Amino acid sequence: MTVKTRRKHREGEVTCHCNAYGTLPHRFGGGKCTGYELVRNYWEANWGNNECSNCHLYNKEENHCQVVEGVEREDECPVFQEFVSFQEIRLLGPYWRTK
């Protein structure tokens, strides 16, 4: 009989429930989870208001977000950056730039 154990939570990790891995909870920013759903959900809830209204990625003429349209990467979005900073998430892997 195999005993299922949970891996110890590591500092700088946040559990994400986006659709990158179906219904499975996973580490935010790991593998297929890029944070796109975080940005898209915020955009759909606000449609250019709140933080989006003064964002450099918001195209006011066409009323769309460049991240949601696929022009820019998720890590360029101020909402994404604030979430990562507030949660103190360590972003790892080749997709994320190190500073």
CB 18 within 8 A of CB 37: yes
Measured CA to CA, the distance from residue 99 to residue 61 in angstroms comes to: 33
Q: What is the mean pLDDT of residues 29-57?
A: 84
21-24's contacts with Cβ under 8 Å and 24+ in sequence apart are none
Q: What is the mean pLDDT of residues 19-34?
A: 83
Q: Mean pLDDT lowest for which of 4-8, 25-29, 56-60, 93-97?
A: 93-97
Please tell me which of 8-12, 26-30, 58-62 the model is most confident about, judged by mean pLDDT. 58-62
- Which pLDDT score, from 0 to 100, does residue 50 have? 77
The type of residue at 90 is: R
Find, among 47, 24, 34, 44, the residue nearest to 80 by Cα. 34
pLDDT in tens, 3-23: 666 767 777 778 888 888 888
CB 61 within 8 A of CB 89: no
Find, among 50, 37, 82, 41, the residue nearest to 58 by Cα. 50
Q: Where are the domains of the chain?
A: 36-99
* 27: β partners: 15
